[in-house]
Amino acid sequence: MQRSAASGKGAANAARPHVAPDHARLAVPCGLLGSFFCGGVAGVLRFQVLGWVATVPPALLLCGLAVVPAVDDLAPARQGLSTECDATDVDSATLERRPRRRGPDLHASSRRMQNLAG
């Protein structure tokens, strides 16, 4: 049984236009992947030479970088504002979150209903 030239992968590929890669858009993910790989290799080499002490500076750096978002997340709670967000907390004109004062426990009534039903 012979196949005709029109059937098969050749005909399907001939009908598709050639898609060229966008090198500018590929630069960012490839750079991230390359940096991740180089950092992993550097970490292994540093660990082989210095031992577990080599893990302390990167750990301190990561902890230092994590402090800023943690403080930002805790600031509204210290001021008595809610850190929760729903659709009514967003200003539609600026798309920014509006601070909301803590109110009564909104889930208390649903818990009471579950207790009555159960």
Query: What is the per-residue pLDDT for 45?
Result: 93
The predicted pLDDT at position 44 comes to: 93
Q: In the prediction, which pLDDT does 105 show?
A: 55
Write down the pLDDT at residue 90.
57
Mean pLDDT by 10 residues, the chain (118 residues): 53 76 92 96 92 90 91 74 55 57 57 66
Residue (of 53, 27, 58) closest to 40 by Cα position: 58
Identify the pLDDT of residue 84: 57
Cα distances from 42 to residues 5, 29, 94, in angstroms, run 53, 20, 44
